[in-house]
Chains A and B, each alone.
Chain A
Amino acid sequence: MADGQEHAHPNYWGVWAGLAVLTAFELGVAFLPWSKQAIVLILIGLAVWKALLVALYFMHLRWEGNRMRIFAIAPLPLAVIIVIAVITEFRW
């Protein structure tokens, strides 16, 4: 069947609101007087959350079959590997 699972339209405006709120949070956190590590961790977490919202709802991965999801996820470990590996040149 064409669209993975059949489903009613997701609440796209709801997702939009979520993205806007998360962005506002990020702006707030970025300028808080906390340790750099904490800020970085929280910001990356928020960014990943936003990215997941876009991927799952706007790009419909939430309703696609596993086969499609594999294509979407496959490059990610490769992205992580190169960055982590080269960072070990500077931080061990």
Chain B
Amino acid sequence: MAHPVMMDPPRQREVGADVYNEKLGMWIFLGSEVMFFTALIGSYIILRVGYPQAFGEPGQILNVPVTASNTFLLICSSVTMVKAFAAIQDGDQRGLRLYLLATVVIGAAFVGVQAYEYTALIHEGFIPSGYIEGRHFAELAAQGELPANVGIYGSTFYTMTGFHGFHVSMGVICMIFVTWKAFKGKYTAADHRGVEVIGLYWHFVDLVWIILFTIVYLI
């Protein structure tokens, strides 16, 4: 017996959330992700309120221009993602494939830029435990140009952005899988659940970054 098309909510069931299972499941899962990032970002906020002198002013240690460009990149990838979804809603296979490919490439670029950012910071001597003795930032701190002790700054910065980057990476991997399926013609206007579901995850990751960029880099 062929599987029924599942873009409509399951038939012969009580009315539930009025959306198909996979979409409901992804929203529910995202709820747990909100709480996970709350633990990390909330701790940052709390620790910063408690001991603000450990944290640098915007741009002192972190590279705002590079990260601002990276933010713009991630926003672009969100648009390409939703354009891919809009394309397959209209049955446009070519549009779906191109926009998904774009999303993968831009998403991977985001991770790449973040990796570059990390190497630059480590080179300058800013790591999760604070400064590296003898490197540039430590010297600036000795001269009073930077906070003397950035232990919790490093800890919170790397943990938050690191786990966000991890989530983006997981998203890119899943996105590659979805793109591969798209190229094999597995999605149609009638059933493109996988595209919508990965899209929701991707937008969520973008949303978290929007919060992160503002409160970590700009405040």
Residues of A within 8 A of B (CB): 1-2, 4, 9, 12-13, 15-16, 19-20, 23, 26-27, 29-31, 39-40, 43-44, 46-47, 50-51, 54-55, 57-59, 64-65, 67-68, 71-72, 74-76, 78-79, 82-83, 86-87, 89-91
Interface flag for B207 (CB, 8 Å): yes
Known pairs A20-B75, A58-B82, A75-B34; A47 contacts B214 (CB<8 A): yes
Interface flag for B83 (CB, 8 Å): yes
Complex CA–CA separation, A31 to B59 (angstroms): 9
**Are A71 and B24 in touch, CB under 8 angstroms?**
yes
> Which residue in A40, A71, A86 is a CB contact (below 8 Å) of B28?
A71
**Are B68 and A23 in touch, CB under 8 angstroms?**
yes
Provide a sorted-by-A list of 29 A–B residue pairs whose CB atoms are within 8 angstroms: A1-B18, A2-B9, A4-B19, A16-B76, A16-B79, A23-B71, A26-B214, A30-B58, A30-B64, A31-B58, A47-B210, A50-B210, A54-B203, A54-B210, A57-B82, A58-B203, A59-B203, A59-B204, A65-B17, A68-B18, A71-B28, A74-B31, A75-B31, A75-B35, A79-B38, A82-B38, A90-B46, A90-B49, A90-B50
Complex CA–CA separation, A55 to B35 (angstroms): 17
Known pairs A12-B82, A20-B72, A64-B19; A87 contacts B45 (CB<8 A): yes
Cβ–Cβ < 8 Å partners of B207 in chain A: 51, 54-55
